[in-house]
Structures are given as structure tokens and as C-alpha cells.
Structure 1
Amino acid sequence: MPRFSRLLRWALLAAAGLAVLGVIALGTVYYLVSPTLPEVETLHDVELQEPMYVYARDGRLMAVFGETRRYPVQIEAVPERLKQAFIAIEDNRFYEHHGVDYVGVGRAVWLLATTDDQRVPGGSTITQQVARQFFLSSEYSYTRKIAEMMLAWRMERELSKEEIFELYLNKGFFGNRSYGVAAAAEFYYGKGLDQLDLDEMATLAGVPKHPSSGNPLSNPERARLRRDYILRRMEALGYISEAEMSRAQAVPMHATPHEPPIQLYAPYVSEMVRREMIARFGAEALTKGYHVTTTIDPEMQRAANQAIRDGLVLYDRRHGWHGVEQHFDLADGDGADVVRARLRTIPTQTDMLPAIVLGIEGSSATLVLRSGREITLGSDDGFGGRSPASLLKRGDLVRVRRATTGPDGKEQAGASPEYKLTQIPRAQSALVSLEAETGALRALSGGFSFAGSKFNRATQARRQPGSSFKPFLYAAALERGFNPASIVLDAPVVFQDRRGHVWRPQNDGGKFSGPMRLREALVRSKNLVSVRLLDAIGVDYARKYISHFGFEESSLPPNLSMSLGTASLTPLSIARGYATFANGGFRVTPWFIQQVKDRDGAVVFEEDPLTACPRCGSGQRRAVASQAGGSVVEGFNLGPVASAPKPAEPKASKPAEPVTPPADMKVAPRAIDARVAYQIVSMTRDVVQRGTGTKAKVLGREDVAGKTGSTNDYRDAWFSGFGGNLVTTVWVGRDNFEGLGRGEYGGKAALPIWIDYMRVALEGRPIAANEPPEGMVEVSVSANGSLLPAGSGGIAEWIKTEDLERMQSYAAFDDASAAEAAQAEETFDIF
């Protein structure tokens, strides 16, 4: 046999042997690897991580929560040019191979054999990349590569090319927490996929190779080079013309960060939603693409934000300059670049920009903003009439605000920005506003700036409500037999406990008015009347009764100090309590999540709130638990006995026609007698008309009612009230419990914020009626509480029917006492 033939035979045998060994090796690998591979069928129902979206009641976006930005898109919504850009750079034979590109694999093997490189480009198709993204780790090994190829084969049998491509475009990481091409398009260009230009498409296609170090923000030059290469590949493959390529390559890199377009700033509410969603659905609530619609009204929320900002700034200006936020020691050569670095981590709060003083010259000061811009504050740009130079020195961290205004005081469009020195208020505030009938939250703000402090004072701060707590105590007294015309003595009283501790409660200014009607006592916020009331009805009874408003009984002090509002309560709980008065006596539960939809638009949760229904059913006027103990007025000493004329045929309230609530309505439980609620509403309306809340008369509505509140040393200032069936509570104070300053009562510090908010919130709302419910009679009384014959004039009062006989048998005071009770006195509210 010729030598050549023998060599050929041995070569063929060797090749066959190698092939057999290869088949055996591949079979062995398949046998070992195949059982460990996941089922690719799961890709039919894959759930990509998506953030959680929070909306106002009208659909405006309030917040986006989640570690990843991702907006999955259907492959049909992806422009053809964008798909071609990815195919050109990643896998130009994608529609030809069956998961593995053997040409690419052969090229990669050749490079491994002929170079010293441990890793070589090529070899991974789009299908293989999807397999790696969903099922495999990022380690570089032959075993992982084989598993990747086997998964790619399986995927091509199970899924269509378009389904695989859709997974690829939605799964990939594009840097800056952006996952998927849609999220990348929005973040880098602020555009939807259908709005992208050719150069932008090519840029995005180049990002997944180096998402952190090669994206157009972190390394624009590297991203440009890759963009231009992708455009050349697209031209070579016939996807674009040479002219299109040239025009796209000539476009400068222009990517900038674009966060989701937040349409309503309500960070405290958004954080409440985040916590509630995690509590209901677990930590995965932030990654399953839930869409949460809240009860928040955009216009009311904006009004709340602005009212708190304006109110606290006004308060702060009353108390003058309180110093710089911080001081940095700057070296002689430190300029704007060094100063700018110090400002990098200091956030803007509302419209107050952080700035560091670079230098002082004359009465002016040069400051550097976080952007690196240098600004100059002139002698008139200081604070409280003082020049910047008299307040600042080099290295001081301060706040400035834009103040480009015209002669009318309004900001002029297009004018060069001017800046004024300002400061972050030392006081904080909270505002809660909800619907009285349902408890639906319409607006909430937990502080001056969420960037400055994430502590939500509306729901987390427990502060003493002072006199704004008195309506709850008065309601307990009205339930026990008192009425708005009952006479209680406003005079000094001393209490001593078993340990010998003496307590002498005081009115503001130490003045006393003697015997006076309860209505007047509430209007003028008399502390001594409140103390005597609580002493008369009993602390234990009062705590039990007041707990029906939604307060924890354990949170109410078990002593007479409770009458002055010494309980530690949140603004939200106070607003909930006032809603009971406004809705006719029902206890509603505040709520703020209206509906939750999953990523496919299916409703997974919808709130069905408890709703007040004053006319539902009959015989439901009184809260059963509140009747325990009966009347106590019989044992209360009102003064010397005098004859009291009996009125003839007093006017009775008209019984309301009972209605049957809709089958799908959940009626809220009754908390207090509807008649007591009516009386408190009537009395708190008088607080606005002629008492401590008279500033609210500026709203020009007869249905506005409320009560101021302040505490010792001016630590807390409150106003809680309602109008148009909207209940709102405002608190002002300092987080460190220091006083707000002398004279900062509820009517001065909190009420202006309440008025500014309610002026917007009540616009277009009908006047809320306050009709006496069934079981009441109208009587006439004198200024000293004496019952007058019908038709003889006097002061009209609606009282409970069962209280009429008691009034007829009780005494009135003599003329001298009555005159004393009617003395005019300037109204203050200290507790």
C-alpha cells in the first residue's frame, strides 16, 4: 500500500476517533450539565422587576420607589431602527442561527488558540445573553459557556425570535439603575422609544457592553466612539445610508440625567404609601410594578406645602436672624471649586439653596452655589434689614433664595436671577386634612422640608394639643347632662394629691371671669372651667368617653391635667377626632390608599372605607358605651337658688327621615350622640366668629369652626377645625421641644397656616349645614344662663330634650354674678 494511502487512512481513523471522543465528551457534558439547567418554559411568564408608582387621586405621579428603573415594552413598540442598532453590534445573524452562532464560536476558539488572551470577544448570541441574564452567573468558565449554549438551544425551541429579543431589550442593564432600553431612553434623554433619534439609538445600543464605565454620562468620549462604530456597522449591513450615518456621527453627545417626571410633590405621603405597601405585600411590593392611587388631591396638597412654607418663614422672620447653618475653615487659596465640593451633599430645602461665603467686601458678600456659580449679595440682600457683611464671614454655610421680582412683587419671567439671604426656620409644622364622612386623606405634610428631615410630624410626632383638646372634654360633659348654657365657675381652684403636691391651674394672665356659660368658656378658652368640668364628670368617665373618638385610653392622662390638653397625641389623631364632630358623631378611620393595580392593570386592592351616615336607621343617636354612669349635674353646685320660669311649648327639632344605606356601604360606628356633635359644632363655630379663632372669619364662610391650642412656654401651637365637611389640623413647634417664643399662641403661629390652606381647599365646596338632630329643643336663656320664657328674647340654645326638665329645676345666679360673667375680656389661649 502506498505510503500516502496509509497516512490518509490513519488520519481518517484519528479524525474518526477524535470525533467519537468529542461526541462522548459532549454526551458526558450534556449528561452532567443538563439535569442542572433550569426550565426555559418559565420565560413565558417571567416577571421582570419594576418599580412601584404612586399617584394622586387624579393620576398625577407623586413618587417612584424601587432599586431599579424599568419600564417593560412590547417588542411591537420598539422602533425597527433601534432593533437594528442592537443587532448590528451584538448579533447580526440573530434571525439566521438557532441560538448558537457557530461561525462566532469558531472565531472565538481560534482567537483563544492563537493569542494569549484569557477572554476573547464574540461567541455569545443575543439568545445566549438572555440565557445568561436570566439563569446563569457572570463567571467566566467553559462549563458556564456550555450551559449557556445548551440553554440557548432550548430557548430557540421554546420561544420565538421576537419573544427572545423582547426579553433581551427589557432585561439588560444600562447603568445608573436603568434596566431595559425604555428606562435607559427616559433616563439619558427624557424620551420614549418612538422619540429617539438615530444617534441616540446607536448610543443606547452601545451601553450594555460597559454599562457603568461606558455610558454617555460616566464616559461620553468612550460612548461616542462605540456609537460611531455601531453606526458604521449599521451602514455596512444596509440598515442605514452613508448620509444618515454621517449625520448621526456628527451629533455631539448630549445625554443628561432625567428622573421620572414627578408631577406632585408629596414626599411625606409617598413615604407613608411605601411603608404601607411593604406592610401589606412584603418587600417585593417595590419590585412588582404596582401602581398605587392615593386619595390625595393635587391642589389641596400644593396648598398645604405652600401654606406650611409661608407660615414657617413668616414665623422665623418675626424672631430675626439665628445664625449660619455651619462653618467651614477655608484655606487662603481655596476657591469656588473647593467650596463647590463641600456643597455636594447638602440638599436644597424648598426654595432655599445652600451656599458658602467665599468672601466679604464692604457691605456685600460673594457666595458659591452648589452648581459652582458665584453670586454677590448686596447691602440690601441681607436678612431683617441687616447687610450680608454684618451677618456672615468667609466659610459660612447659609441659604439664599431667588428674588427676581418686579414693582408688583411678582417674579418676572426672563429677568436675571437675583438672590436674597434667607434661613431655614427653626420651627417645624404638620398639616393633616381629611374628609369628615370617610376619613379619606386629601393633603398631608409632615414638615418644612422632606430633604431636611424625613420625620413625619403629622403621624409620628406626639405633642400636647393644649386647648384644641377641650372640645373632646366638653363633649363628655354634654353627654353627662351639661349643655351650652350650663353655668360653671371660672375662679381659682387648688388641688392637692395624697402626697401633698399642690396644683393651681391658671388662666392666661391670671384673670378670672366668675360664673359663665359653657359656650362662652369654650369661646374664650377658660382653663379653670375645663378643670372644673373634668372634676365634675370624673376622670375615669372622661377617659373612657374620649377614647370613642379613636384615641387610645392609655394615652390620656389619668388626672385632671387632661382637661388642659396634656395628652401626647399626633396631629393625625386630633384630625380624626374632630371629624367625629363634623360628620354627626361617627368614628371614621383615616386612609390614603384608594386602589392598587398590578403591572398588567388588574386591581389587587381597593379601599372600602367606613362612612358616616347620620340618617341611616333610627334609634342610633347615642353611643351605648358613652351612657355609662348617667348624669352628674345633680351633684354639681351651681350657686344660689332662684326661680326659673318654665318656657311654653319649646320648639323641637324635626325628626329626619331615616334612609337605608346602599348595600355596598360600610357604615362607620357611632362614637358620640349626634346631638352632642351638633352642640360642639355650634360652639366651635362661635370660637371662629368671636373667640380665639376670629382670624378665620376672613374665609367668609359661616360653616368654619375650630379651636386654637397652645401649651406651656409656647412649646406647641395648634389650630384644628372644619368647614365644608373638610377637617384640617395644623401644628407648629420645635422638634427639640423648645418654646416658639413669647406670644406664639395657636392663633398666631398655627391659624394663619390653616387659613392659607383652607382658602384653597374650601374653594367650590358647598356650605356644610348644622341642623339640630331629632331629640332636641330650642330654648332661650339669659347671659347668666337663666331660662327665659319663650318669645321673650335672650340667647337661643338647642339642648337635648331630656336636659330641658333639668334646666327648669336648676337655679340661675343673681344679677351681680351674671354681670360679672358677662364682662368683656380680650381672648387668649395659653393651654
Structure 2
Amino acid sequence: MKLLKTFFLLIIIGALVGSAALAGIYFYFKPDLPSVAVLKDVRLQTPMRIYTKDGSLISQYGVKRRIPVKLEDVPQQMIDAVLATEDSRFYEHYGIDPIGMTRAVINLIVTGEKQQGASTLTMQLARGFFLTREKTYIRKIKEIFIAWHMEQLLSKEEILELYLNKVELGHRSFGVGAAAQVYYGKTLDELTLAQTATLAGLPKAPSALNPVSGPKRSVERRRVVLLRMLDEGYITRAQFDEAAAAPVTARKHGAEIETQAPYLADLIHAEMVKIYGKEEAETGGYQVYATAPTDLQLAARQAVVSNLHDYDERHGYRGPLRYLWGPEAQAADASDTETPQPETAQPDSASASNGLDQHRQWSEADMLAVLQKVEQIAPLVPAVVTTVAEQSVEVLSINGNRHTLSWENLDWARPYITDSRQGDEPEQASDILSPGAVIYIRQHNQQWRLAQMPQASGALIALNPANGAVQAVVGGYSFYQSQFNRATQAKRQVGSNIKPFIYSAALNSGYTVASIMNDAPINQWNEATGVAWRPKNSPPQYDGPIRMRVALGKSKNVVSVRLLRGVGLYKTAEYLERFGFDKEDIPRDETLALGSGSHTPLEVARGIATIANGGYLIQPHFIDRVLDEQGTMLWQADPMWACDPCDTGQQRPQVTDMDKEERLAQVLDVEVATGDSPLPKRSAPQVITPQNAFLVADMMRTGVQANGSWSKKTYWMGTGWRAKNLLQRDDLAGKTGTTNDSRDAWFSGFQKDLVVTAWVGFDDMNRNLGRATRNQNLINRNPERFNWIGNAMIGSESGAHAAQPAWIRFMEQALEGVPEKFVPVPEDMVRVRIDRTSGKLTRRTDHTTLFEYFVTGTEPTVYVLDDQIKDPAREETKNAPEPEEIF
């Protein structure tokens, strides 16, 4: 009895000493334990995801891949697999599992090594958030206290949800949602039992056990997980057998990008980094929605890519990337150590000089191995030519498929000589390619077509003129080829794209659309340089006295110079600043009238939007709204609108997170709505009058169509006539632009609700776009569209040839099903009948007259005299456009 009392006394003393020691240890480590606030507001580092306006994912930024999931959205099978493997008594303990702890202690005593950690799921979570994987007693003690602390503050369901979203699972994936996407390209509910078990086995050693880096070890670990699930009764023996025998199906997947818009995503990423800083922007879980809808963004990309291929094809084929066998391969430099050789080739083959025998040495695997080393930039697909027939070729593409390229997808490939010279049209496939050629192909009209990497660059940007919301942006052929965004960063000479603004300045200074200008050569001697300045029209044709409307439509250079002189150089330069052009980019000499100033496509589109929207200078913006990771609205765009006063019924939304809203507002220059009522829409500054904007827009409308009567010889064509001809719409307006030596080609135009600017040029500013000679193969196939749009156009490259086709392609899709909508006629405007030649009032009503718009009070007051009337139908037509210019 005495021994029993002593035993119990020792137990009590030991318990007290142990409790005291435990308390002492707790208070010793307490300063290092996380606060209650931290545990209650645990934040997952979630990447920023960027979407189109209608919710299509275009990019994801962040080192860690994480797709947060709610516990109720996690399949029960995944929960069972995780609990069976990591913590089968999760719902029975308080953060520390005594049984597991005892097992680990016994193992340590027996082996002398820390082989079993005895960490519960809660302890793993504590380590993941607050500690490291270092195996030390101090870390384990902290881990125990933090786990116990977490169990007091959080429910089991909250802990499990945090674990499933936090746990590291390899290849930068954190959480089961991200791992399912990274390894299988699926959502959790799409995983098989085998795939679920694979993911559940990763927490032990994600780098070594994942199915991409270590497929064999992954299978072994998967079997362990399945056995645990079988032991716990979560699956049947039949399910176990099937899942254990399943093949490894994992491969590394990128973010589930739904729409390719890398230039747009890059702009938005830069804006978010500017607001929050790189780390916060890329880990804060922000969901950023662009202003661009999916359909318009895709249409813009297709328009730019197709247009650059058309330009490239009409200038000729530069040849295959290399040859693998045949005479061409033998002619290659023998000292080139990078020349590929087939792994199956016999080095001492006596028939090595025979092309056919060399072909036989190249197995399909050999060819595919070479193709894997070829740069892959969509939509280009590397391929090897295996067979050449009379007017077709067979190829093996990089994905192992074999395709036939028909003659209509080959015959464009006449030899490239220079940017302005092309060789003869090919007559058969052997004129273009030989077996063994490594080439690019691309899909075109649901067929495979011979292709090459375009050397010219292009850009397109579309804006909503009412509020500046960017509807589409493409900054080049491929973002993965060049990250330089030519739509927003490339300042290039704008050529005749400047003329609408010059004409606006003239209207502001008292000119009218019917003012008669002298379209005659200018020859001005410059005493300072000893050189005469002789600006010329392009083509060098002169019509003599001409109305301003016709001069803009025909893009008469000398008239633009005369208008500049009439208004005044410095007055015009200052006037152009109204359209948002940087003062430093506006030349202070007469070349300003010809577009010698350099601006980005975005700046040009913004200026054109001022004409389209009635005179308001809107602010382009790319972000529509920003949500947090839970989907709560943090910020919504608050643009300035082209209206004054604006409809007060459309008001700015109320903020939900003041701190984050203020940061966004500070960077994006908007007010913060406070109180119970949102703020009304803001008016953009009106920089030109509605009347001025309307008249310029109306002149630009006649610049994209044919005007007058052919039979009455009053017919004339605007330089952008293809727009009306192909799109068959009357509500379009636009202006071509070509610089000296065709180094830059532009087309800017609009429909009332959409402004678009397209540009084409070489990144090397010393290289011009050249000219294309006649390719009879293309003309014979499609004569009805000959030279209207595409790779059959001939002549010097210009805004109408090189840039306008991209604009037309985009508008063709953007305006499909959209009813015509015209710029409304503003107040204080009159429409009177004038004489077509003199611009004076007339009492005649025949083909020598037309109706014209004027600002009230500026309409002509003098009638044309009978002897002053010129009837073109009775005169010989002079200076008719050359066929090259018409077509």
C-alpha cells in the first residue's frame, strides 16, 4: 500500500513538473507564436488572373500556381484520400495525435533516427504557414503549439480547407485545385481515382514523387495512398485494383488560357504592378477584367496575323529553314557542326551521295527530333517535306501528322529577291521545294499552307470612342517572338494619318469643306539650306482647283501644306495638342502637314476618337474592373465620357474596399465615391466643336468610298475606297497614311461606336515596305477580288495596300450583325446645294451640283454664274488615276 502511494505521488509530482515544464516551454515560445488575428486572417498567395471583359482567361501571373477552392467544392474522394494518407484521426484529435506521437518516439528510441514526424494535418498546416521543413526539436515544439493554437481558433472544416489550398504539390502548384490543373489540365471533379490518389500522395515529397519528374516513384506512392484508402474503407478492392494498374497520364500543363491576348495581358500586368508593386500584384489573388471582349480581341489578332502573311507572301518566298538531305543539304557548309544528322545513318554508307538513299536514312523519329529544335511560334508549325509531286507536296509536321499541301497553297511562293523585287511565278512544286526541306506550314481556310515567319511587323488597336475603353490591342505578329508592343510603344511617322487633324485646324480657322484649294506643285527655295522643298502628291497627279472634301479624300499632299500655311504653322501645331498628341512629338516645320511627326497607334486612335465622338478627348484605358480572390468588387473603371452634360442615370458604382480603391484611384486618376450615393458620370473635356468633328468625320466618310458618277465624269475615289467596296456599309469613315519611301503604312477609321488604327512597317526604320510585282497565279485564281485585299495586290506598298486590309478584316468581324449607325448631325448646321467645281451656291439640280454641310453662318452666299459652270461630262478627263492606283 505504501509503495502504491509512493507510485501515485511520483505520478502526481511528475505530472505537475511536466505541466510546469510544458507551461514554461509554452511561455518561452509564446512570443514567436502567430497572433490570433494572423490565424483568423490567413491569406493564401494566389496568382493574379487576367480575363477579357466577358470572362475568358488570357493570362496568369505569379510564381506560385494556386486555384483556391471551397471545401464544399472538393470531391469527397479527394478528402478521403488526403485524410487516409496524412491524418486518418483528423476529426478525433486537437491538433496533436498522441498515438502518432508515441509511435514516432518509440521509433526514435529504437533506431536513433527521426524517421517519422508524427505530424497531423493541422501540424503540417502550421509548418507550411509559419515554419520550415527543418527537422529540429525546436521546430517540432513550435509546430505542436501552433497546431494546438489553430485548433482552438478554427473549425476542423476551416483547417482542412486551408490545408487543401495551401499544401505544396510540386511544379509551383500549391493546393489541390492548382495541382489538378498543372498535372492533368482538369478541375477536381474531373479527376479519376488514380489521379486523385496521385495528388494525395504528393505532400510527403512533392519534388520527388510528382508524376512528371518521377513517374515510377509516383506510381509507388499512389499504391500506398490507395492501400490506405482501402484500409479505411473508402474504396473497394475492385476500385483499388483498377486504380493501381492505371497508366501515368500526367504531363505539365500551363495555365488554362482560353483566349490568346498576351499584349493586352502584359499591359494590364504592368498597370497592376504600378499600383500594388510586383509581389502584391502577383500574389494577392486579384481577378482583373479587361475592357476588351473576347470576340474583338480574337478578331484583331487574326486580322494582324493574316495581313502580315499576305504582305509577306506577295513579296516572295525566302526558302526553307534548312535541308536534311539531298543536293541542297550537301551544298551546306561542311564545317557547320550544327548540321543535323540522322541517328540511324550508317557513317560509311557507300550511297551517301544518293538523295533517295539519304532520305531512307532519316526515320520519322529522326525528323521529329530535328523539328523539336525548330522555333515554334503560333500559328506556324514546323514540318519536313517528304515527297514532292508535280503540284503538291507531302510533309511530316512536328506533331507527327502527315499533310498534303495543294498547289493553291504553294503557288504564291515565287522567289524573294529584295523587298521590291520578286522572281518568276512557280510552275510546279519542285520550283519551290525539294524533299528534305525543313519548312513552316500554317492553317489557312481549313487547309495547310506553305508559310514563313513574316519579317514585317504590324499593330492594331481599337477603342470605344464614347469612353476610351480599349476593345482590342495587338502589338505584333507574336508576343513570344517580340514583347515590344508596337500598338502602345512604337512612335512611328504617321504620314497622311495626320491630315484629318490638319483639316480640323483649317475648319477651326474659317475654312469650309467647300473651300477651293489649289492642287498644284509647290516649289519653295530655302535660303538657309540652299535646297528647294518640293512636296509632291502620291501619285504625282494634280487636279488644280479642288474642294477641301475631295482633297482630303484623295489625300492631296500639296493641299495639306497650303492649309497649314493658311492656318499658320505654330497655330496648327498647338491645335494638334488638343487631340492628345505630345507637344514634343509635333514638328515645328511644314513637314508637319505630311505627317513627319511620330506617334503611337494608340495616340492616333485616341485622336481619331475625338473626331468620331463629337469633339471629346477621352482617356484610353484597359482595365474594366478588379475583384479580389473571393470575387468581391474592389474597383470598377470610372472613365470620362464623350457627353456634356452626361446622363445622370448612369452613375459610378459604390466602392467595397476603401483602402484598395484609393490606391487604384490614385494611380488611375479617378475620384473615390464615398457616402451612400455613387458619383455621376464624368464628362471628358471637349477640345473641338461638335460641328468641326462632324465635318471632318463626314469628309473621312467620302474618303473610303467611290463618289460621283462615272458616266457624268464626276467620279472620284477616296484612297480608302476598299472599305466601302468590301464591307458594303455607308457608316464608315477613314484615312490612309503612308510615309516617305513607304517605311510606315497606316489606316485609321471608325464606325460611330468603334475606332480602329492599323499600322504595318519594319522594326528596322531604315527598311521600307517596297513594292510587289504581278503574281499571275493569284490573279488567275481569284480575279474578282484581284488587288482589293490580300496577297494579290501589286504596286508600291501604302496605307491602302499594307495596313487597310487588316482594318477591313477586323471590321468585317467586329461589325457583323451590327446595324449601321451614323455620326449624328449636330445643331447649328445647314445643308445647301453647291456647284461641284467652284463650291458656290447654285440653282442647278443636275450632276454639276451636290449638297454640302456647313456650320450655320459659314455657308456660301454667292451663286455661281452660268459661264463659270464647268460640266465634266463635256470635257476631256484629265489626270485619270493609273490602274496601279485604282487597283
TM-score range, shorter chain: 0.7 to 0.9
- 1:265 and 1:171 map into 2 onto residues whose CA distance is 29
CA contact (8 A) 2:543 2:879 kept: no
| Cα distance, 1:212–1:347 mapped onto 2, change above 3 Å | farther
Q: How many residues align?
A: 767
Asked if structure 1 preserves the Cα contact closer than 8 Å seen for 2:81 and 2:197, the reply is: yes
Decide whether aligned partners of structure 1 residues 333 and 341 sit closer, same or farther in structure 2, where only a CA change above 3 A counts.
closer
Pick the aligned partner of 1:351 from 379, 382, 385. 379
Q: Structure 1: which 5+ residue stretches go unaligned?
A: 404-408, 412-418, 618-661
CA distance in 1: counterparts of 2:239 and 2:825, whole angstroms: 79
Q: CA deviation at 1:518?
A: 1.4
Match of 1:749 in 2: 802
Do the aligned residues in 2 keep the contact of 1:716 with 1:739 (CA within 8 Å)? yes
Kindly report which structure 2 residues correspond to 1:207-356, keeping only aligned pairs within 5 A, or say none: 207-283=202-278, 284-325=280-321, 328-331=338-341, 333=343, 344=372, 348-355=376-383
Provide the identity percentage. Answer: 42
| 1:139 Cα deviation from its structure 2 partner | 1.8
2:342–2:366 contact (8 Å) kept in structure 1: no
> Are the structure 2 counterparts of residues 49 and 356 from structure 1 closer, same or farther at C-alpha, using a change threshold of 3 Å?
farther
Instruction: From the superposition, tell whether residues 788 and 452 of structure 1 become closer, same or farther in structure 2 (CA, over 3 Å).
Output: same
1:604 aligned partner, one-letter code: L
| Distance in 2 (alpha carbons) for counterparts of 1:400 and 1:563 | 43
**1:123 matched to 2:118:** yes
Rounded to whole Å, the distance in 1 between the matches of 2:434 and 2:116 is 59
1:677 matched residue in structure 2: 693
Residue matched to 2:505: 476
In 1, Cα distance between equivalents of 2:130 and 2:386: 55
Q: Deviations over 1:517-570 (max 9, x none)?
A: 212211211111111111221111111111111111221111100100111111
In the alignment, structure 2 segments of 5+ residues that lack a partner are 324-337, 345-361, 414-425, 648-677, 706-716, 772-795
Pairing of 1:383-394 with structure 2 (within 5 A): 384=413, 385=426
Q: Deviations over 1:240-279 (max 9, x none)?
A: 3333322332333323444444332222112211112222
- Aligned match of 1:644: none
Superposition pairs for residues 91-490 of structure 1, below 5 Å? Answer: 91-115=87-111, 117=113, 119-283=114-278, 284-325=280-321, 328-331=338-341, 333=343, 344=372, 348-355=376-383, 369-371=397-399, 384=413, 385=426, 398-402=439-443, 410=446, 420-490=449-519
Q: TM-score with structure 1 length normalisation?
A: 0.84
Distance in structure 2 (CA, Å) of the matches to 1:363 and 1:493: 53
State the 1:309 CA deviation. 2.1
Structure 1 distance, partners of 2:825, 2:694, is: 6
Contact 2:185 2:256 in 1 (8 A): no
The worse-fitting range, judged by mean Cα deviation, of 382-391 and 434-443 is 382-391
Match of 2:79 in 1: 83
Report the Cα distance in structure 2 between the residues aligned to 1:394 and 1:497, rounded to whole angstroms.
Answer: 64
Deviation at residue 233 of structure 1 after TM alignment: 1.6
Provide closer, same or farther for how the CA distance between residues 358 and 9 of structure 1 changes in structure 2, counting only shifts above 3 A.
Answer: farther
CA contact (8 A) 2:840 2:863 kept: no
CA distance in 1, matches of 2:194, 2:38: 35
The one-letter code matched in structure 2 to 1:240 is I
2:575 paired with 1:545? yes
Deviations 1:48-75 (A, max 9, x none): 1112222222222222222222122222
1:666 counterpart residue number? 682
2:881 to 813, 820, 826: 826
Among 759, 765, 779, the alignment partner of 2:818 is: 765
2:680 partner amino acid: D
SS at match of 1:544: helix
Q: Which residue of 2 is the match for residue 591 of structure 1?
A: 621
425-434 or 96-105, larger mean C-alpha shift: 96-105
CA distance, structure 2, for counterparts of residue 160 and residue 81 of structure 1 = 21
Choose the corresponding residue for 1:600, options 630, 641, 644.
630
CA distance in 1, matches of 2:823, 2:10: 104
For 1:249 and 1:470, locate their aligned partners in 2 and report how far apart those are by CA, in whole Å.
72
Matched with 2:584 is 554
Corresponding residue number in structure 2 for 1:62: 58
Letter matched to residue 297 of structure 2: Q
Q: What secondary structure is seen at the aligned counterpart in 2 of 1:803?
A: coil
**8 A Cα contact 1:523 1:687, kept in partner:** yes
Task: Determine the structure 2 residue equivalent to 1:640.
Answer: none
In 2, Cα distance between equivalents of 1:808 and 1:378: 66
Instruction: Report the Cα distance in structure 1 between the residues aligned to 2:49 and 2:94, rounded to whole angstroms.
Output: 39
The TM-score normalised by the length of structure 2 is 0.79
DSSP 3-state at the match of 1:53: strand
> CA offset at residue 479 of structure 1?
0.7
Structure 1 pair 574–70 and aligned structure 2 pair: CA distance change class (3 A): same
CA distance in 2, matches of 1:333, 1:305: 40
Task: Determine the C-alpha separation between the residues in 1 that align with 2:592 and 2:478.
Answer: 32
What CA distance in whole angstroms lies between the structure 1 residues aligned with 2:614 and 2:36?
Answer: 61
Whole-angstrom CA distance in 1 between matches of 2:283 and 2:505: 48
Q: SS state of the match for residue 593, structure 2?
A: helix
CA RMSD of aligned residues (A): 3.7
Kindly indicate whether the alpha-carbon contact (under 8 Å) linking 2:646 and 2:681 is maintained by their aligned counterparts in 1: no
Structure 1 residues 480 and 158: alpha-carbon distance in aligned structure 2, compared to 1, 3 A threshold:
same
CA distance in 1, matches of 2:239, 2:192: 11
Matched, 1:566 2:596: yes
Letter of the aligned partner of 2:822 in structure 1?
A
Paired residue secondary structure (1:788): coil
Tell me which amino acid in the other structure corresponds to 1:255: A
**One-letter identity of the residue aligned with 2:818:** R
**Change in 2 beyond 3 A, CA 1:332/1:57:** closer
Bigger drift between 46-55 and 358-367 goes to 358-367
When residues 527 and 86 of structure 1 are mapped into structure 2, their CA distance, relative to the original with a 3 A threshold, is: same
1:406 alignment partner in structure 2: none
Aligned match of 1:800: 855
- For 2:681 and 2:843, the matched residues in 1 are separated by 43
